[in-house]
Amino acid sequence: MNYLTDTSNIFTRYDLNIEVAQQGARKVSGDEILQNVADFVINGDEDGIADVVKETLETKTPMEVINDGLISGMNEVSRLWDEGIYFLPQVILSSDAMNMGIAICEEKMGRSMDKKGKVVTHTAEGDIHDIGQVIVNALLNANGFEVVNLGADVPVDKVVEACRTHNPVMVTGTALMTTTMTAFPKIATQLKRLNLNIPFVCGGGAVSEEYVTGFDMGIWGKEANQAPGMAEDALGGDEWQAMRSKWNG
Amino acid sequence: MKLSSSMAYSSADEMMFGTAKYPVETKRGLKIGGGHVIPEIVPHPRPGSEKTIKTLLREYERANGDALERCVIVGHPYLQVENEHVFQMTHNPKWGGEIAAQTARQMDDYKEKYGLISAYRATVADLRKPDMVGMRDSDYTREVLESFEECAKYADIISIESMGGKEIFDHAIIRNDVGGLLFGQAVLGGLDMEWMWTQIVEIAKKHGCIPGGDTNCAEANTAMFMAGGFISKDVPHTLAALSRAICVSRSLVAYECGATGPSKDCAYEDPIIKSITGIPIATEGKTSACAHSDLCGNVIGAVCDLWSNEAVEYHDMFGASTTAVFTEILGYDVAAMNSSIDLGYQKEFQACLINSDRYRGPHGFMLCPDNAWEIGKAVVDNNESLYVRGKAAAVKCGELMLGDPNLKLTNFEKESLEAYMKDLEALPDKEEDFIDLSLKKYGKVKGFKPASYGL
């Protein structure tokens, strides 16, 4: 069979045209020891970070390691992803490394570090397609939020109860199927009835903007990577109407 | 279960759309893989219709009925209808059975009234999420098996999109972990399929129904859709292609347990499966853009026997309902393919399909018949175990991608692929060693229960 070598009239490989030149990570700390911690995060080295954090804790306080090493490194990872240099797996591996480092610091402190705020996440009742939620969880976690992960196939009442108990800044719902996303307006109705005015971000698969903006509190999430930005808005006090007008429409 | 040790075709050149080495015939005389391609329409119910059996029956009566009617209106001679169960249809096994019975009656009516030859495929929803239930012993497991019993009484073909290994796959795919893909897809997926498909084949036999096939939709398709098009930054396309190659090890298990095809439409691994088994396959490409996007819109039809649309939600369009419209589109697509066959131009037509997407991206490239056959050959030549053949498929796929200079890769994609090849090389030779290693490495992955797989 003949295979064409000039395919320019058949398709255009835009990915080749737009590839961002590989760049090294920037320095994030003036302190060589803390920069080393940050580098383990930037390189997503979960295997090696435990030793380096333990070693650093001999000369630095846990909060210094967290803020100026682990979180600074993660911020650099976010920048690399935003600029199209890093792919999602690199972000996840960095997040894993950061979390492991934080756990060691917390052990030394004898308490958990303060998180920015809570976000309740779930995948709709009857739906077991939760990889979108897994990514949302990882990204929220990487950005300093406490994730209350309810998992997949979660009944409406359980989501509402979690919101009542945890009083999160935001709640998210993921669904692949149109026949399971029907749980979302039920959740919104119950939250409203209980006067829990929590922005409710819904997305995934066949979940459409038209559907989600058809009920109060609903904000459509097009991509998982929007979740941290949305959570920041909610944390900053934006109500669902303001968030909807910013992110949707 | 004996792992496949030979190829159904001696070369890729023998593989053609419309013809399978081992065709199957349905209750109303539809020959699949018997010389011509057949359209397969997959309607999906609107949200809200799943509330009661009454509303769902009505929804499918209209959706499936519109498809049959459109065949008569425009003169399509054959049609297969697939209903992929929504959660409620499997969770309430009688519901799936009633919908199958209703559709069978509609098809009988159309045959009697117009002579339209059609068949019905019921695809049971695999409700078992590995990290939430025991795969072999849970209420959801029992519902899935009961649903097969109910559907097999009326359907021509039964199928499933099984979920084995999904908990490990999800962990691995977002961590660039090709070893995790091998464990989740090839080993755990294959073990779960052997357990499940032995039972499905028995149920099908009992009811005179065809045990169709499985698909790695839950995993390899997740990888492919995360890799996305040309602007996504979620997963490298090269990793998605390796995931596709690996999944052959598990999707093949259905046929090794006695399934006869037709395979499932969303199993993009099907050209490889066909090269090994000779069963008729269903594929989907450009016509599934209503459900998702891919980079192999034409090439994936190069050796198909059923040509599908994946799933289209039932609602109105300018031209009629979606199922009527997509039935018309699918029917005209296969009319062109079948015309080429009857004119003797099928090789030329196939060359056009292949060249459309061969170098559009890694997935289209690896699924070209020549490359699919090569990957299939690596699988059967390494049939020592689920793991060994899955690894061989991945290595061959990687070699093919790196070996053809016309397949352009971004620097990132190429560097990633070279790293995956090194990772693969470093893995153990023997399955038992690999399983030991994996049980240690993934033992703490949330919800992973080795007992679910008999480990």
pLDDT value at residue A78:
87
My answer on whether A128 and A92 are in the same domain is: no
Q: Which residues of A touch B411 (CB under 8 A)?
A: 19, 22
Q: Are strands B316-317 and B320-321 parallel, antiparallel or unpaired?
A: antiparallel
A77 belongs to a structural domain = yes
pLDDT value at residue B325:
98
Please judge whether B44 and A152 are an interchain contact, meaning their C-beta atoms are less than 8 angstroms apart. Answer: no
CA distance B204 to B211: 6
Q: Which residues of B touch A4 (CB under 8 A)?
A: 355, 358
- Across the beta sheet with B157-160, the strand order is B210-211, B157-160, B117-124, B78-84, B38-41, B306-308, B282-284
- Total residues found in chain B within this entry: 455
Q: What is the pLDDT of residues B270-312, one digit of tens each?
A: 999 999 999 999 999 999 999 999 999 999 999 999 999 999 9
CATH classification number, B14-453, choose in 3.20.20, 2.60.40, 2.50.20, 1.10.10: 3.20.20
Q: Which residues of A touch B47 (CB under 8 A)?
A: 178-179, 181-182, 211
My answer on whether A142 and A175 are in the same domain is: yes
pLDDT value at residue A177:
81
CA distance B365 to B373: 12
My answer on whether A155 and A187 are in the same domain is: yes
Nearest-Å Rg of the Cα atoms of chain A is 21
Beta carbon pairs, A and B, within 8 Å: 115
A19 belongs to a structural domain = no
Please judge whether B234 and A87 are an interchain contact, meaning their C-beta atoms are less than 8 angstroms apart. Answer: yes
Q: Among A14, A84, A127, whose Cβ lies nearest the Cβ of B233?
A: A84
Q: What is the DSSP letter of B46?
A: P
- Angle in degrees, CA A91, A96, A97, rounded to 5: 95
Dump the DSSP string for chain A: ----S--TTT---HHHHHPPPP-PPPP--SSHHHHHHHHHHHTT-HHHHHHHHHHHTTTS-HHHIIIIIIHHHHHHHHHHHHTTSS-HHHHHHHHHHHHHHHHHHHHHHTSPPPPS-EEEEEEBTT----HHHHHHHHHHHHTTPEEEE--SSB-HHHHHHHHHHH--SEEEEE-SSTTTTTHHHHHHHHHHHTT----EEEESTT--HHHHTTSTTEEEESSGGGHHHHHHHHHTT--HHHHHHHH--
Last residue of a domain, one of A109, A132, A156: A109
Q: Does A210 touch chain B (CB under 8 A)?
A: no
Nearest-by-CA chain B residue for A83:
B233
CA distance B260 to B212: 6
Q: Residue A1's closest CA among B31, B433, B14, B96?
A: B14
What's at B51, amino acid-wise? Answer: K
Q: Which residues of B touch A131 (CB under 8 A)?
A: 170, 173-174, 222, 226
Question: Can you list the pairs that B388-392 forms with residues at least 24 positions away whose Cβ atoms lie under 8 Å?
Answer: B388/B429, B388/B430, B388/B431, B389/B3, B389/B186, B389/B248, B389/B249, B390/B182, B390/B185, B390/B186, B390/B187, B390/B190, B390/B245, B390/B246, B390/B247, B390/B248, B390/B249, B390/B250, B391/B182, B391/B186, B391/B246, B391/B424, B391/B427
Q: How confident is the model at residue B29 (pLDDT cuts 50, 70, 90)?
A: very high
What's at B264, amino acid-wise? Answer: K
Please judge whether A3 and B358 are an interchain contact, meaning their C-beta atoms are less than 8 angstroms apart. Answer: yes
In a mutagenesis test of the A interface, which of B91, B128, B217, B230 is the best target, namely the one with the most A β-carbons within 10 Å? Answer: B230
A151 belongs to a structural domain = yes
A167 belongs to a structural domain = yes
Nearest-by-CA chain B residue for A88:
B234
Q: Does A214 touch chain B (CB under 8 A)?
A: no
What's at A239, amino acid-wise? Answer: E
What's at B286, amino acid-wise? Answer: K
Q: Are strands B306-308 and B282-284 parallel, antiparallel or unpaired?
A: parallel
Task: Tell me the nearest-neighbour CA distance from A118 into chain B, angstroms.
Answer: 21
Nearest-by-CA chain A residue for B351:
A1
My answer on whether A79 and A187 are in the same domain is: no
| A22: pLDDT strictly greater than 70 | no
| A66: pLDDT strictly greater than 80 | yes
My answer on whether A149 and A47 are in the same domain is: no
| Number of domains chain A is built from | 2
My answer on whether A84 and A142 are in the same domain is: no
Q: Among A10, A19, A130, whose Cβ lies nearest the Cβ of B356?
A: A10
Domain extent at residue A58: 28-109
Task: Tell me the nearest-neighbour CA distance from A249 into chain B, angstroms.
Answer: 22
A139 belongs to a structural domain = yes
In a mutagenesis test of the A interface, which of B60, B90, B91, B129 is the best target, namely the one with the most A β-carbons within 10 Å? Answer: B129
A10 belongs to a structural domain = no
**Average pLDDT of chain A, as a whole number:** 93
My answer on whether A81 and A102 are in the same domain is: yes
Please judge whether A178 and B88 are an interchain contact, meaning their C-beta atoms are less than 8 angstroms apart. Answer: no
Q: What burial letters (b/e) apply to B18-29, b meaning 16+ CB within 10 Å? A: bbbeebbebbbe
My answer on whether A89 and A135 are in the same domain is: no
CA distance A110 to A63: 12
Q: Which residues of A touch B163 (CB under 8 A)?
A: 128
Q: Does A2 touch chain B (CB under 8 A)?
A: yes
A15 belongs to a structural domain = no
Please judge whether A1 and B46 are an interchain contact, meaning their C-beta atoms are less than 8 angstroms apart. Answer: no
Nearest-by-CA chain A residue for B359:
A7
Contact between B189 and B250 (Cβ < 8 Å): yes
Q: What is the pLDDT of residues A106-152, one digit of tens each?
A: 999 999 888 999 999 999 998 888 888 988 998 898 889 999 999 99
pLDDT value at residue B144:
98
**Average pLDDT of chain B, as a whole number:** 97
Task: Tell me the nearest-neighbour CA distance from B355 into chain A, angstroms.
Answer: 6
pLDDT value at residue B100:
98
- Angle in degrees, CA B120, B121, B124, rounded to 5: 140
Please judge whether A15 and B230 are an interchain contact, meaning their C-beta atoms are less than 8 angstroms apart. Answer: yes
In a mutagenesis test of the A interface, which of B44, B59, B87 is the best target, namely the one with the most A β-carbons within 10 Å? Answer: B87
pLDDT value at residue B312:
97
Q: What is the DSSP letter of B3?
A: P
Q: Which residues of A touch B297 (CB under 8 A)?
A: none
Structure tokens at A249: 């429409």
| Chain A residues 69-88 with a CB less than 8 Å from chain B | 81, 84, 86-88
Q: What is the pLDDT of residues B34-46, one digit of tens each?
A: 999 999 999 999 9
Last residue of a domain, one of A109, A127, A160: A109
Q: Does A148 touch chain B (CB under 8 A)?
A: no
In a mutagenesis test of the B interface, which of A23, A46, A82, A177 is the best target, namely the one with the most B β-carbons within 10 Å? Answer: A177
Structure tokens at B202: 């028995």
pLDDT value at residue A206:
80
What's at A28, amino acid-wise? Answer: V
Q: What is the pLDDT of residues B195-223, one digit of tens each?
A: 999 999 999 999 999 999 999 999 999 99
A7 belongs to a structural domain = no
Query: Would you report the helix, strand and coil content of chain B in percent, each value rounded to 5?
Result: 55, 10, 35
Q: Residue A148's closest CA among A131, A172, A130?
A: A172
pLDDT value at residue A218:
97
Q: Please state the rounded mean pLDDT for residues A43-64.
A: 95
What are the φ/ψ torsions at residue B198 (nearest 5 degrees)? -60, -40
**Residue A62, domain CATH:** 1.10.1240.10
Dump the DSSP string for B413-441: HHHHHHHHHHHHHHS-SSHHHHHHHHHHH
- Residues 6 or more apart in contact with residue B109 via CB below 8 angstroms: none
Q: What is the pLDDT of residues B323-343, one digit of tens each?
A: 999 999 999 999 999 999 999
- Residues 6 or more apart in contact with residue B418 via CB below 8 angstroms: B402
Q: What is the pLDDT of residues B356-411, one digit of tens each?
A: 999 999 999 999 999 999 999 999 999 999 999 999 999 999 999 999 999 999 99
Q: Does A9 touch chain B (CB under 8 A)?
A: no
pLDDT value at residue B233:
84
Task: Classify the C-alpha dihedral B93-B94-B100-B103 as positive or negative.
Answer: negative
Please judge whether B412 and A16 are an interchain contact, meaning their C-beta atoms are less than 8 angstroms apart. Answer: no
- In chain B, domain spans: 14-453
Please judge whether B175 and A96 are an interchain contact, meaning their C-beta atoms are less than 8 angstroms apart. Answer: yes
Q: How confident is the model at residue A230 (pLDDT cuts 50, 70, 90)?
A: very high
Q: What percent of chain B has pLDDT over 70?
A: 100
Please judge whether B411 and A127 are an interchain contact, meaning their C-beta atoms are less than 8 angstroms apart. Answer: no
| Structure ipTM | 0.92
Task: Tell me the nearest-neighbour CA distance from A245 into chain B, angstroms.
Answer: 25
CA distance B10 to B412: 36
* Beta carbons within 10 angstroms of residue B414's beta carbon: 16
Q: How confident is the model at residue A244 (pLDDT cuts 50, 70, 90)?
A: very high
My answer on whether A166 and A229 are in the same domain is: yes
Q: What percent of chain A has pLDDT over 90?
A: 78
CA distance A215 to B307: 38
What are the φ/ψ torsions at residue B19 (nearest 5 degrees)? -125, 125
| A32: pLDDT strictly greater than 90 | yes
Q: What burial letters (b/e) apply to B287-315, b meaning 16+ CB within 10 Å? A: bbebbbebbbbbbbbbbbbbbbbbbbbbe
Whose tokens are 């117009």? That residue is B114
My answer on whether A132 and A104 are in the same domain is: no
My answer on whether A136 and A225 are in the same domain is: yes
Peptide bond into A168 cis (omega under 30): no
My answer on whether A135 and A225 are in the same domain is: yes
Q: Does A155 touch chain B (CB under 8 A)?
A: no
Nearest-by-CA chain A residue for B47:
A179
